[in-house]
Structure 1
Amino acid sequence: MDPGPRRNRPDDCCDASREYRAGGSSPGRGSHGVKPLPLKEAVSTVVDSVAPLAAVSVPRDEALGMVLAEDIIAPENVPISENSAMDGFAVRSSDLRNASVDSPRELDLLPEMIAAGPAPNLAIGAGTTRRIMTGAVIPSGCDAVVPVEKAEVLGDTVRFTAPAAPGEHIRPAGGDIEEGSVALEKGTLLDPASIGVAVLCKRTRLSVVRRPRVAVLTTGDEVIGAEEPMEAGLVRNSNSPALIARLREEGYETVDLGVARDETRDLLEKITRGMESDVLITTGGVSKGERDYLREVFESAGIKLKFAGVRVKPGKPIVFGLFSEGVVFGLPGNPVSALTGYELFVRPALRKISGHRCLFPRQIVVRSGFDFPRKTGRSEFLRVRLRGSEEDGSWVAELTSPRQGSQVLSSFVGAEALLYIEPDKKEIRAGEEVLCLLIRDPGATDFSLS
């Protein structure tokens, strides 16, 4: 991974997760004599270990979703000159001074209308007016526009029954963007509107933070493909397709390394290939089983482990490490653990690597719609949907499924948020306030605005 200048900017557009990054002291030791980290420490370790990639120049129309790596200075005013904000009549405000219903003013209507486009050499003299269209250049002598519905055409004259203030319904030159100003700041996420502003600034190419390349590897002798015959003891490889789909959803380039068997040579060969990318994600092989020796293979490949184990449920065995040009995440093999690990650890890292300012999921306080007893000791995340309360319209969290085990992939279907439970909390009671990390926009089923 080719990091550009390291930037430690505060997250200025969303809460950097006061509770999400919470957690107490670590209890006991995990496998391999490594202490599981509290959630806050693990997330901080990940984020502090990565930096934005170097800038690259890309065609403007390929930059959507990327982060701008330079300020864009406006080369000209937008709009370039004064123009009309309404269809109406170009006037001199002094001609309509004291105009009223009881004492209207009539101005001579000049024959040529002023339309949008190249400015004709037209002027407005005292006591005259011209038709003008929205976007048309303001003619010489005009300092106001009267909307067409506020005037009455009487053959060769136009009657006005109200005064017009200087500048009324006129868009000033540079009213949108002033020449020489910063039209787009470095660090801007390039959304559709930003692409449009780049056009206004005459830019056909943009300097952006390079998108990371992410390799995904599933491990395990028990893993089979979608069309292979099933038998007892086997599992289908849902992890790689699900993670790759999530990565592509967010615009990242992906490399599918397939499945590595529980054999050192195969694991090392595929991990080495994965280290050609900026980020390597593996699933499986990081727990306490006799054949879960992925950590040792990581070390053999030259990966320096930063932690192995986090006090979180699901996903306790997660591993994070660094290699010369990138980072690796060893996610657990259970599919819910893998997807939760992606949202909590991988996604913030990828966002920082990509140059984003906001790294963490947006958090909202909602009310629980269910009771949930639990064992204490670890931070826990439940998959929930959000609905509006019929009583007061506030958000209420409902479990996507009563089965919340780390193996129940279907519990992630339709999940809009991860409901956070503090390590020492013994239960969630229906009606109490809880913190949720949004992973999807819950949307709405109706349009209630008038």
Structure 2
Amino acid sequence: MPETFTNAINTILNHIKPTAPENIFLDGALGRVLATPVKAPWDIPRWDNSAMDGYAIHAADSSCQCQLQVTGFIAAGETAQDLEVSPGTAVKIMTGAPTPPGCAAVVPVENTREDSGKIIIEKPVPLGSHIRWQSEDIQQQQVVLKQGTILQAPHINLLASLGFAQVSVSMQPRIAILATGDELVELGQTPGESQIINSNSYALAAAVKEAGGVPVMLGTARDCRQSLLEKLHAGQQADMLITSAGISAGDRDLVRQVLDELGLEIHFWKVDIKPGRPTAFGQIRGVPTFCLPGNPVASILTFEAFVRPALRKMTGHQHFFRPVRQGRLEHEVKRKSGRREFMRVLVTENSKGELFVSSAGDQNTGIMSTMVRANGVAILPEDRGNLLAGEYVTLFLLNPAEPLEQV
């Protein structure tokens, strides 16, 4: 009995555990996921400092137009040493330099005139002007980055500012990828009659990388027990195993038989979705194992539906699924109820931010060009048959960072 989509994804996520943490140097941390929260070891700013090139003045001189004697100079990187601001005096100060005792405000240099060692302030200065106060940004022991944060340039800037040369992140899991079938030849070989190139392994490897894993290419297993045993045994050394093809009811589809020999604990063997009904998930001695269809379109879409969320959980992400949005159908969609369907679509957007959805082309799973043209996937529910033009459907974008065509 095929499993429902909801039960299938819940089963998968219930059996996936995050990878162990590892410490890596900050220059290799871009895009990685924090394994533990980060606390600030000190305040930022660490001291009161000037936000402008100018003059540090006393509170007594802030509300008047006056002449002040310049008694010292503090550059960025220096300390105030014995300097102190007292009434009637000013200390010249550079951006980032620590403010000296007695400083109540900094007057930008462009708001002053200098004459014979004195400065002339021509208008009152609000107290606290142009001073960055100690800890006004971050306080010592404050949690500055949460577990699960995906590290981008601003996060790395902050970590470096706080002195972290290394950071604890979730390890990137090694994902073994195996294609099966006598009809497959490897990239670089010329396919003969009735042969096709093993393209699935490269597509799945790219998808694994995008999701945060490290692909391990096992090549192609032939439709014989010994070849499958050797390849699948090698796959057990990884953190996850993905196979494509070989799981239908065909006479030579031996994958399940060999997986059973290796001790596969099967959780489901089929799912009520379209495309991708012959999709399976289980574990071999604790290694999550996905068996995806051999059809290239179905292989990519079932990876999106099942493997990508599992990989996101393994790599420490807090959100496992692509964000979903609502879009309005531009045409009728004829279909039968009973299975959740993943429809390849073109998504456009109007000036109000409303999304419009149309088919990316022939939805036959043998039509790869439709997958290439699509920029989104519409999720059509199990309990609905035909959908009318103008109805709203749930969808996710395949490349959310890519701007949508405006209509």
Structure-2-length-normalised TM-score: 0.92
1:330 shift after superposition: 0.3
**What residue in structure 1 maps to residue 384 of structure 2?**
425
- Range with greater deviation from structure 2 (84-93 or 375-384): 84-93
Q: Output the amino acid matched with 2:77.
A: G
Q: For structure 1, which segment, 68-77 or 241-250, has the greater mean C-alpha deviation from structure 2 after superposition?
A: 68-77
One-letter amino acid of the structure 2 residue matched with residue 300 of structure 1? E
- Structure 1 partner of 2:9: 43
Question: What secondary structure, in the 3-state scheme, does the structure 1 residue paired with 2:16 have?
Answer: coil
1:107 is aligned, of 51, 62, 67, to 67
Task: Report the equivalent of 2:122.
Answer: 160
C-alpha offsets along residues 195-246 of structure 1, whole Å, 9 cap, x if unaligned? 2332233222223222110010011111122333334432221100111112
Aligned equivalent of 2:226, options 250, 265, 288: 265
Deviations 1:310-363 (CA, angstroms, capped at 9, x unpaired): 111111110101122411100000111111111111011111111211111111
Alpha-carbon shift at residue 109 of structure 1 (Å): 5.1
Task: Report the equivalent of 2:393.
Answer: 434
**1:77 match: secondary structure:** coil
- Does residue 405 (structure 1) correspond to residue 364 (structure 2)? The answer is yes
SS at match of 2:201: helix
Which of 174, 179, 188 in structure 1 is aligned with 2:140? Answer: 179
Q: Which amino acid aligns with 1:198?
A: L
SS at match of 1:357: coil
What residue number does 2:252 align with?
291
Change (3 A) 1:133 1:370: farther
Aligned residue type for 1:114? I
* Match among 95, 101, 112 for residue 140 of structure 1: 101
CA contact (8 A) 1:307 1:320 kept: yes
Q: 1:445 to 1:368 in 2, by over 3 A?
A: closer
Checking the alignment, whether the CA contact within 8 Å between 1:109 and 1:158 is kept in structure 2 is no
Measured in 1, the distance between the counterparts of 2:169 and 2:353 equals 41
Is the CA contact (8 Å cut-off) linking 2:51 and 2:130 kept in structure 1? Answer: yes
| CA distance, structure 1, for counterparts of residue 122 and residue 45 of structure 2 | 29
2:24 to 38, 58, 74: 58
Q: How many angstroms apart in 1 are the aligned matches of 2:324 and 2:59?
A: 52
Task: Return the match for 1:282 from 232, 243, 263.
Answer: 243
Q: What secondary structure sits across from 2:294 in the alignment? A: coil
After superposing the two structures, state which structure 1 stretch, 348-357 or 246-255, moved more.
246-255
SS at the partner of 1:340? helix
Alignment match of 2:40 (pick from 64, 74, 95): 74
Q: How big is the alpha-carbon RMSD for the aligned residues of Structure 1 and Structure 2?
A: 2.3
CA pair 147-444 structure 1, distance change in 2 beyond 3 A: farther
Do the aligned partners of 1:146 and 1:164 also contact (CA within 8 Å) in 2? no
1:291 partner letter? R
- Report the CA distance shift for 1:446/1:170 in structure 2 as closer, same or farther (over 3 A): farther
- Indicate which of 301, 312, 316 corresponds to 2:262: 301
Query: By how many angstroms is 1:191 displaced?
Result: 2.7
1:11 aligns with none
Q: 1:408 to 1:446 in 2, by over 3 A?
A: closer
Name whichever of 169-178 and 279-288 sits farther off: 169-178
Contact 1:114/1:136, CA 8 A, preserved across alignment: yes
Match of 1:201 among 162, 166, 170: 162
How many Å apart are 1:95 and its aligned residue? Answer: 1.6
Q: Is the 8 A contact 1:93 1:164 kept in 2?
A: no
Equivalence for 1:236: 197
* Within-5 A mapping of 1:214-225: 214-225=175-186
Structure 2: segments with no counterpart, 5+ residues? none
Distance 1:352 1:382 in 2: 25
Matched position secondary structure for 1:90 = strand
Code of the residue aligned with 1:77 in structure 2: it is D
User: Helix, strand or coil for the counterpart of 1:413?
Assistant: helix
Which residue in 2 is equivalent to 1:116?
76
Distance 2:57 2:378 in 1: 61
Q: Is the 8 A contact 2:50 2:93 kept in 1?
A: yes
Per-residue CA deviations over 1:243-281 (Å, capped at 9, x if unaligned) read: 111222334221100111111111111011001101001
Q: Which residue of 212, 232, 238 maps to 2:173? A: 212
SS where residue 372 of structure 1 aligns? coil
Map 1:377-388 → 2, pairs under 5 A:
377-388=338-349
Whole-Å Cα distance in 1 between the matches of residues 308 and 219 of structure 2? 21
Shift of 1:56: 2.4
The structural deviation recorded for 1:164 is 0.8
2:55 aligned partner, one-letter code = F
Letter in 1 for 2:356: V
Q: What TM-score results when the alignment is normalised by the length of structure 1?
A: 0.83
Which of 344, 355, 364 is the equivalent residue of 2:305?
344
Q: Which amino acid aligns with 2:242?
A: I
Deviation per CA, 1:377-430, whole angstroms, max 9, x where unpaired?
11011122332225x34222233x311222222222253321110012223333
Q: In the alignment, is residue 371 of structure 1 matched against residue 371 of structure 2? A: no
Deviation at 1:446, TM superposition (A): 10
CA–CA distance in 1 between the matches of 2:388 and 2:79? 69
- How far, CA to CA, are the matches of 1:381 and 1:393 in structure 2? 23
Q: Could you tell me how far apart the structure 2 residues matched to 1:92 and 1:434 are?
A: 65
Query: Superposition pairs for residues 9-24 of structure 1, below 5 Å?
Result: none
What SS does the corresponding residue of 2:304 show, helix, strand or coil? Answer: helix
Deviations 1:280-330 (A, max 9, x none): 011001122222231121111111111011111111110101122411100
Residues 279/445 of structure 1: CA separation in 2 closer, same or farther (3 Å cut): closer
Matched, 1:329 2:290: yes
Identity of aligned pairs, percent? 36
Q: Is the 8 A contact 1:93 1:163 kept in 2?
A: no
Quote the Cα distance in structure 1 between the aligned partners of 2:373 and 2:269. 30
CA distance in 2, matches of 1:197, 1:163: 32
The equivalent position to 2:354 in structure 1, one of 394, 403, 406, is: 394
Letter in structure 2 aligned against 1:443: E
